[in-house]
Amino acid sequence: MTYESAAQRALDTAAARGAQYADVRFERDRSENIEVRNGRVATLSDDESIGYGIRAFYEGAWGFAASPDTSDRGIDQTAARAVEIAKAGSAIARERFGEAPSEAYVDRYATPMEEDPRSVPLAERVGLLLDAERLLHVAPRIRVGRAWMDLWRKESEFYSSIGSRIAQETAQSGSGIEALAVDGGDAQDRTWPGDNGLYQGGGYEIIRKAALRENAQRIGEEAVALLSAPQCPQGTMDVVLGGSQVSLQIHESCGHPAELDRVMGWEANFSGTSFLEIDQLDRLQYGSPLVTIVVDNTLPLGFATCGYDDEGAKSVRSDIIREGVLRGYLMSRDTARRIGRATNACVRAESWMHVPMIRMCNLNLLPGATPFEQLFEGIKHGIYMESNRSWSIDDRRLNFQFGCQIGWEIVDGKRTRMVKNPTYGGMTPRFWNSCDAVADANSWEAWGTPNCGKGEPMQTGRTSQCAAPARFRDIEVGVGYAG
Amino acid sequence: MQVSEREALARRVLNLSPAPATEVCVFDDDSALTRFTHNSIHQNVAQRNLTVRIRAVDGKRQGVASCDALDEPGLRRTAERALEIARLSPEDAEMSPLAGGGTFTTPQGAFVSATAQAGAQRRADVTETIFAQMEGHNQWGAGFVTTASSGVTLATSAGLLASYDATDAGINVKANAGNSTGFAEQHVRDQRALDGRAVAGRAAEKARLGSDPQAVDVGDWTVIIEPAAFGELLSYLAQHFSAQSYVDGSSFLSDGLDRTYAGDNVTIRDDYAHPEVLGMPFDFEGSLTRPVTLIDRGVGRHVVTDAYYAARLGVANTGHALPAPNAYGPQPRTLILEPGTKSREELIAQTKRGLLITRFWYIRPVDQRQTIVTGMTRDGTFLIENGRIAGGVRNMRFNQSILGVLRACEPARELMRTGGYAYQCVVPAVKVERFHFSSGTEF
């Protein structure tokens, strides 16, 4: 697709209406979704959306307008609307939030892909899900089996009034299975891989990697076994978290508080603010020295990997936490400038229709040196937990409580009996400072999160947190069922 | 897009579809939102979209494709893709036939042209009144002013043609006063009713009252939960009222209907025609949506259905289908809790020692079947002593069964429509005994 002439029209109209800077992002989103539920193909859809969003800058204020109407008239109206909005905001501004970008890029990017999903017949894709879902039903107590697959592809073109011309083709794929076992008043859920499935940047190779058929029977059996498993004990004890749960922990207790728009109060009324205030930069001992977390939007397989973000800034890798100390934030151009830094290209929009804003992108806990099985050594009594079931954290991202689908008691360094309903809670810096082992690169995985909510109007972001299992000492366990 | 244009578009799609049977759904949305913080606008957006969703049916096979193209080649390509998917799909024994004709009456007042026509300047004017109020209180506000209009047209080759148009407008204000915050909101169909000054004033007063918040002990408390918070809490019960959850065994109602689950002062309904709702009178299968009493004076009476689950359960269809096919089953639209007889103020005055809660945050299920959820308080939590607000309280985490709340609650008499991140509800404030807090914060 090329929208060069339409883009030029949008930029010209915005300039004629008074915009001091403008950019326009054309996108063609293609989304294929298949879901099998209890032997039935419950969803089989192919959605295409084409449209554009225009940002206009006027006297320190931004306006944004979006439309699918690519006619000359539609583009003129949308560009004019963006400028009108910017002017209305500027007229009552007490503070100027925006500043026009000054760097421009002319470039192309495409997600590396081993196997184009379009080369895999639909019947084969549906067949995989039907097979995997059927294998979940190991007993009548499996009341619900689900298997799903998402294939997403986006072609985008970004043009700015200062000369950027960026074309990108990104591909993301994901799939998973779920078994719900019910017995009397108890319902137990198991999913694979992780809690959402495996979502990464790439093609059909990501679907094959998830190994749904190979794991379905085990997942069904675990869901049934949980019904008769003992309740997770309560108390202060050591905890080992599986990789996908560490990913969730990073997402909620590091990623969101490190979003600089939150720190600056831009999300105060909804997503909240952050305890990682500017005066903590380079000072706060966020975690133990084993904790190094980087944002890396260039990472192969990263769910949020791309060449440029949605305000046309080039993807980079930068530190957020280095050896336990807060070193940076997830930033846009506007917010980075306010703390004297350059953006690290963490701006995304859900679609052409949505205004770009700071999102988590790929936020990675670097692997440690401990083989996974050795994480249990030295634990007298603790719990190993896998796959998130419940997640909640306060609006400054300090007090958290998470629950997992399944746990195993650790006794004298050995993983022993299965326990159900494991939950744990704590305060963010105290928790990360209790981390005394991170598993090595052999168990490090890019865990994509396809449904991160933020912003108003609400946008669903696609983030990823690369993580390996990790060990934490003296954690409050069983908090969800205490009292 | 006018309803007549939307219906013409739907007819055009039916005519060009190559499938033996076709359903088309046209969604038209035009929304704008002005967002502010530190008493200044930092995000100001308008988004317009029109989506055409085509379901092609060939015998017992179906396929869905959608696009936002309006030109004939684009629509034809999408219709062909839907049929191609249908022909590659396995047969679906549960598929309901496409709906035929029907007459539906949209509740009066759902669509207000003054809201649909409101522009950036109107939102700026309302925002300015909020800023003025905040500055008058020496506080800063964060929030939004929004206006939106949306339309849906559902048509089938079997003769159905149904449309619904609605508008929404809202204000959301979080007031910030040093070490305390306060929250207030307003959601209406007619933007001319937006009152930035009043909403901001309520939020500012909350923030003022909550200054220098003190820590209190965790444990069981008597609480008065205001509508914004209670609506969010109640929304996590919505899934339980789906016939699919009931059949699956993941709903608390799976223990059986006609059993007592809540106090005899608790009645929960779903009613699209309620004056605070004014919702769509049909569902996405083209069935008439019926008011449903879900819990009647504490007794679980009904779940909401679509055609498939109505047939499976042998009950009348309540008309709560989502666009077919889907994995979610029928869903309630808006939960309405019947009001009580006392005012919010009377509930506070009759509380010897308790907490007043303005807003909850990040509620998530801990145990779906037991209806246990966890979450945090935010933006205005107060200690009540001897019937009066005694001061602000630091935020706390709760772990609480929602059914436990409904067994020990007294609803106030003033109903309010809440926005809510998860779901829309119409609820009063409620007073609840033994609400369990498990941990605290330093703020």
Contact B143 A269 (CB under 8 A): yes
Contact A61 B44 (CB under 8 A): yes
* Residue A398, phi then psi, degrees to nearest 5: -110, -60
Distance CA B312, CA B292 (A): 18
Q: How far is B341 from chain A (nearest CA, A)?
A: 32
The per-residue pLDDT for A1 is: 66
Q: In chain B, whose CA is at the least distance from the CA of A334?
A: B42
In 3D, which of A18, A26, A117 has the Cα closest to residue A61? A18
A188 by DSSP, 3-state: which? strand
Contacts with B394 from chain A: Cβ below 8 Å: none
Distance CA B236, CA B246 (A): 15
Q: How far is B290 from chain A (nearest CA, A)?
A: 25
Contacts with B367 from chain A: Cβ below 8 Å: 421, 480-481
Class of domain A4-228: alpha beta
Distance CA B38, CA B134 (A): 9
Mean pLDDT for chain A overall: 97
* CA atoms in the 13 A half-sphere facing the CB of B396: 28
Contact A483 B399 (CB under 8 A): yes
Distance CA B288, CA B313 (A): 18
Contact A456 B436 (CB under 8 A): no
Amino acid at position A252, single letter: E
pLDDT tens digits, one per residue of A29-56: 999 999 999 999 999 999 999 999 999 9
Kindly give, in sequence order, each residue whose CB lies less than 8 Å from that of residue A114, ignoring residues fewer than 6 positions away. A202, A203, A204, A205
- Rounded to the nearest 10 degrees, what angle do helices B120-136 and B196-209 cross at? 30
Beta strands in A252-376 (DSSP E): 293-296, 317-322, 325-326, 347-348, 357-358, 363-365
CATH architecture designation of domain B3-202: 2-Layer Sandwich (3.30)
pLDDT tens digits, one per residue of A237-253: 999 999 999 999 999 99
Task: Flag whether residue B102 sits within 8 Å of chain A, measured between CB atoms.
Answer: no
In 3D, which of B410, B387, B385 has the Cα closest to residue B230? B410
Whether the bond into A371 is cis, omega within 30 of 0: no
**Which residues in chain B land under pLDDT 70?**
420-423
Task: Flag whether residue B248 sits within 8 Å of chain A, measured between CB atoms.
Answer: yes
pLDDT tens digits, one per residue of B378-413: 999 999 999 999 999 999 999 999 999 999 999 999
Task: Flag whether residue B119 sits within 8 Å of chain A, measured between CB atoms.
Answer: yes
Contacts with B439 from chain A: Cβ below 8 Å: 399, 401, 425, 479
Task: Flag whether residue B48 sits within 8 Å of chain A, measured between CB atoms.
Answer: yes
Q: In chain A, whose CA is at the least distance from the CA of B363?
A: A392
pTM above 0.90, yes or no: yes
- Mean pLDDT for A300-316 is 97
ipTM of the complex, rounded to two decimals: 0.96
pLDDT tens digits, one per residue of B47-101: 999 999 999 999 999 999 999 988 999 999 999 999 999 998 889 888 889 999 8
State the span(s) of chain B assigned CATH 3.30.2290.10: 3-202
End-to-end CA gap in chain B: 48
Q: How far is B342 from chain A (nearest CA, A)?
A: 30
Contact B366 A97 (CB under 8 A): no
Helix (H) or strand (E) holding A212: helix A212-228
Q: DSSP character for A367?
A: P
The per-residue pLDDT for B356 is: 98
Q: How far is B42 from chain A (nearest CA, A)?
A: 6
pLDDT tens digits, one per residue of A129-184: 999 999 999 999 999 999 999 999 999 999 999 999 999 999 999 999 999 999 99
Task: Flag whether residue B42 sits within 8 Å of chain A, measured between CB atoms.
Answer: yes
Contact A95 B38 (CB under 8 A): yes
| Domain positions in chain A | 4-228, 235-481
Q: In chain B, whose CA is at the least distance from the CA of A144?
A: B248
Structure tokens at A404: 């997992």
Q: How far is B135 from chain A (nearest CA, A)?
A: 11
